[in-house]
A and B are shown apart, each in its own frame.
Chain A
Amino acid sequence: MRASAGQGVAAGDIVLSVEDVSLGFGGVQALTGVSFDIRNGEIRAIIGPNGAGKTSMLNVINGFYHPQSGRITFKGKTRSKMRPYEAARGGIARTFQNVALFKGMTALDNIMAGRTLKMHRGVLWQILRVGPALAEEVEHRLKVEEIIDFLEIAHIRKIPVGRLPYGLQKRVELGRALAMEPNLLLLDEPMAGMNLEEKEDMSRFIIDVNNHFGTTIALIEHDMGVVMDLSDRVVVLDYGRKIADGTPDDVKRDQKVIDAYLGVGH
């Protein structure tokens, strides 16, 4: 059996850990004393029934929400809250449950937006569009084209994303996150609303990203089949508390998890 949160794991292996994080909005407690960690190179799933606090957890990790208490340690640096800009700088990229793309822009521009932090040339150079700035634009464009090829979306790259079907929008969103060349990729329900074929495609991309680029992935997903197939370790939340943490097999047999999903009298 694998060790649970933070025990028996070499410190260098942990890329991110949250300790005792609590988050509330007015009277609603979204997270209560949640602790877990994410190891370098793994696929970590966060599961739980609706309203369990999964998305809140991702929002805490990339700095959209600031917890009332607790610590977040990312790449060895401990802080009481992340800021979105710091998170992005530090190499945390994410996608959103409801697809948050820049709707008026093309798929290509959306993915190029993911390169924002990688571009360094000054504004003046860019206005002139010569020398280093042009070289930089070309270099980033090449990188983006690689991602587009990888995700097999070359045919739609010039189409405004608002016009694309949902499944492809999700893929463009993944592309934008990948363009950041993240260390840690947060995926919020990457397969929500997809048909079987689209789900299989997306699973393949996730595994490929993890294998080829060595990107650490934390994902929220409702499709249990997908979760059990993809993830190395699973953390289960229910009503804002952690109720289980371990390998897919461990979690599947955990009585608390079964209760949470099937429902018992609370």
Chain B
Amino acid sequence: MLGPILETLIGGLLTGVLYSLVALGFVLIFKASGVFNFAQGVMVLFAALSVARLSEFFPMPIAIALAVVVMIALAYAIEFLVLRRLVNQEGIILFMATLGVTYFLEGFGQTVWGSDIYKIDLGMPKNPIFVLESVFPGGLLIDPSELIAALICAIMVVALAIFFQVTRVGRALRAVADDHQAAQSVGIPLNQIWLMVWAVAGIVALVAGMMWGAKLGVQFSLSLVALKALPVLILGGFTSIPGAIVGGLIIGAGEKLAEVVLGPVLIRMFDLAGGGIENWFAYVLALMFLLVRPQGLFGEKIIERV
């Protein structure tokens, strides 16, 4: 019994890293503007589309490099056309602006790149490997492409965590998120900070889009991966990079385990069909967290004087 559970756990954790990566994009922008960027999911889609289509004309490394340029250009456009006009507005107004960006990008992506299903071939090994065959009968089945994806994500996450937590950029980000004008008044270049953060979030979206795209194919539903990031954020806290990582792992492992462990229990005890637990488990977990610890595991507790 232990073998399959361990296998599920590992599979879940590897998927969880991918959730973390998507959630990370949200956290970056939330930290720098206090805004939930609804467009993060569609940015993942847009980035994946760019890579998929560009790779039809160029070798993969060049296609990826070009996609990075596309995402930076996109960040610049969003900063220049949208954010710059909304300095010192309420968070809800910026949120609405990201909603607009979402639907624009969704359509624009189709206009530029087309609306078929495309595939990204990163040349990663496809055949599953078995490990620890001496310990467990039959060994543990692991998908090497997931392992590589997880590794790339881990490197990315650590690099970002160091960059934003340790440097004074971190302090500047928190300052900007708290109060735009006050941040400007001490000489923090608001526009540059936003540009940088959106560009980094775009690149994070690119990596996430490539990993998910290689796994599921590049199609519209890719933007829905972002919805899975929501419970991750609630668990980890909207402002915490480590929170996004831990949250992603918990959700990834939790939902897979719930399917395997909880499923049979439900079937036996209540005579239910027992499937589909993976679909709702994350949200129920998030809901419970909202009741008990609304700021998430690592989020800042917001104290308001009344």
Contact = CB atoms under 8 A, between A and B. Distances in A.
Contacts of B269: none
A209 B93 CA distance: 39
Given A94-B185, A162-B303, A163-B303, A102 B175 contact: yes
Contacts of B181: 64, 84, 96, 100
A105 B178 contact: yes
A162 B303 CA distance: 7
B178 A102 contact: yes
Interface string B160-195: 001100111101101100110111111111100000
Interface stretch (A7-15, A21-29, A66-74, A108-116): A108-116
Given A88-B184, A93-B186, A102-B175, A123 B302 contact: no
Contacts of B300: 104
Interface in A77-104: 84-85, 88-89, 93-94, 96, 100-104
B304 interface: yes
Nearest to B178: A102
A126 B169 CA distance: 10
A143 to B, nearest CB: 14
Contacts of B182: 96, 100-102
B178 A104 contact: yes
Nearest to A163: B303
Interface string A118-138: 010001001101000000000
Interface in B271-306: 300, 302-305
A62 B174 contact: no
Q: Among B172, B175, B187, which residue has the most Cβ atoms of chain A within 10 A?
A: B187
A101 B171 CA distance: 13
Given A64-B184, A129-B166, A116 B174 contact: no
Contact of A123 (B169, B187, B188): B169
B174 A104 contact: yes
A176 interface: yes
Q: Among A116, A129, A160, which residue has the most Cβ atoms of chain B within 10 A?
A: A116
A250 to B, nearest CB: 32
Contact of B167 (A89, A105, A109, A127): A127
A117 interface: yes
Contacts of B169: 123
Nearest to A140: B168
A126 B185 contact: no
B89 to A, nearest CB: 13
A179 B175 CA distance: 15
A180 interface: yes
Nearest to B182: A100
Interface in A13-58: none
Contacts of B186: 88, 93, 113-114, 116-117, 176-177, 179-180
Interface string B136-149: 00000000000000
Contacts of A160: 303
B169 to A, nearest CB: 7
A59 B190 CA distance: 16
A93 B185 contact: yes
B185 A88 contact: yes
B163 A123 contact: yes
Nearest to B162: A127
A126 B166 CA distance: 7
A113 B175 contact: yes
A60 to B, nearest CB: 14
B166 A84 contact: no
18 contacts: A84-B181, A84-B187, A93-B186, A96-B181, A100-B179, A100-B185, A101-B178, A104-B178, A112-B171, A113-B171, A116-B168, A116-B186, A117-B187, A119-B168, A127-B167, A162-B304, A162-B305, A180-B186
Given A102-B175, A117-B187, A123-B163, 17 more contacts: A62-B185, A63-B184, A64-B181, A96-B181, A100-B179, A102-B179, A102-B182, A105-B171, A113-B172, A113-B183, A123-B167, A123-B169, A126-B168, A127-B162, A129-B166, A162-B304, A163-B305
Interface of B: 162-163, 166-169, 171-172, 174-175, 178-179, 181-190, 300, 302-305
